[in-house]
A = this chain, B = another copy of it.
Amino acid sequence: MKNFVFKNATEIIFGKNSERFIGSKVKKYADKILFCYGGGSIKKSGLYDRVVDSLKENEVEFIELSGIKPNPRLEPVREGIKLCRENNIKFVLSVGGGSAADTAKAIAVGVPYEGDVWDFFIGKAKVKEALPIGVIITLPATGTESSNNSVIMNEEGWLKKGIATGYIRPTFSIMNPELTFTLPAYQTACGAADIMAHIMERYFTNIKNVDLTDRLCEAAMKTIINNVEIVLKDPENYDARAEIMWTGTIAHNDLLSTGRIGDWASHQIEHELSGQNDIAHGAGLAIIFPAWMKYVYTHDINRFVQFAVRVWNVELAYTSYEDIALEGIKKTKEFFQKIGLPVTLKEGNIDESKIEEMADKCTNNGTQRVGQFVKLNKEDVINILNLAK
């Protein structure tokens, strides 16, 4: 086990009707806030009205920043920063999915910074402060509700980049599984794939003797596997929705990283898919992860055997470790298929002629390697993308 520092102070307010606390929670931090959200879904569901009522009841003024899209863009971030400065706003609230939250986080670091916020994303500046952030999350997927990450897309060059800093962990996150009842099946499945990927990125590590976190990862993966099919059949099953939602947070709140080094190559490769093709991030991960596994499993076959046996209950004879490992990978791919996700570039409508271009961007023109479990060069990325055809 590696030495580590772990701190995650986000307050989670979880359960039925928990959004009714929003006004009183926000009021502790500010009288005037920026209120970020996406499209019409929170209006259609009535959530927008409940939030506005609660804010008004608690005499919290708000300026709105709406229309935030999936794969959140840089422009609304800049607009939000401007709004906060012009209106002397010191608190950012996001209501909706990961895109609204990631936008809020980027705004929160941008407001106190003199330069352009994109500087943080390209490593030109380091985050040293941020406004406090509150979140109501309606899509279990990115784990942004208590993570230290924000991923933003710069339309200039279609660059999708992330920052990671403790300053952007939300002060509080409100999570009501009922708010996920109306999620379409495809979005539910994409969220589940994203959650699985967050765990798998951490699971495949070269650090030895990480017994507890291995088992915690396996527990979280089994919870997703067992509950996502339930909600696809029965979208208003509160308990299964709640399991998925809470697992989505645990998957990415850094507990499962303690003492280990994750891989993250699949995420980096996927960013090129969703960066260039506007495919959902979770769907992109369902395509990339099984291909990545097939490409790297011989690097540590014991780990892939453990994954197959403990997560997928593979019970083949131990005469061939390779067979067991491959069976685990097969079951991973079948799981993504079963929940309705694409598992090949073709199924994801990804233009195969762009494989080299994607590999190029992913490795910064072949100058950088991606991943920690196996450090992949441009050639490796091309091979993985070819395996995903």
Contacts and interface: CB of A to CB of B under 8 A. Distances in A.
Interface in A1-31: 1-16, 18
B12 A9 contact: no
Interface stretch (A48-56, A111-119, A150-158, A210-218): A210-218
Given A1-B239, A12-B7, A226 B211 contact: yes
A125 interface: no
Contact of A246 (B7, B223, B243, B259): B259
A15 B10 contact: no
Nearest to A221: B215
Contact of A6 (B6, B14, B212): B14
Contacts of A240: 209
A3 B176 CA distance: 9
A242 interface: yes
Interface string A72-116: 000000000000000000000000000000000000000000000
A12 B2 contact: no
A219 B14 CA distance: 23
A215 B222 CA distance: 8
A258 B14 contact: yes
Interface residues of A, number: 40
Interface in A214-272: 215-216, 218-220, 222-223, 226-227, 239-240, 242-243, 246-247, 250, 255, 258-259
Copies, count: 2
Contacts of A259: 14, 242, 246
A323 B243 CA distance: 30
A94 to B, nearest CB: 19
Interface in A188-225: 208-209, 211-212, 215-216, 218-220, 222-223
A9 B166 CA distance: 12
Chain A to chain B: the 3 pairs with minimum beta-carbon distance, closest first? A3-B15, A215-B219, A209-B239
19 contacts: A1-B243, A2-B15, A3-B14, A4-B12, A5-B12, A5-B14, A6-B14, A7-B9, A9-B9, A14-B258, A209-B242, A211-B243, A212-B243, A215-B220, A216-B219, A216-B250, A218-B219, A242-B259, A246-B258
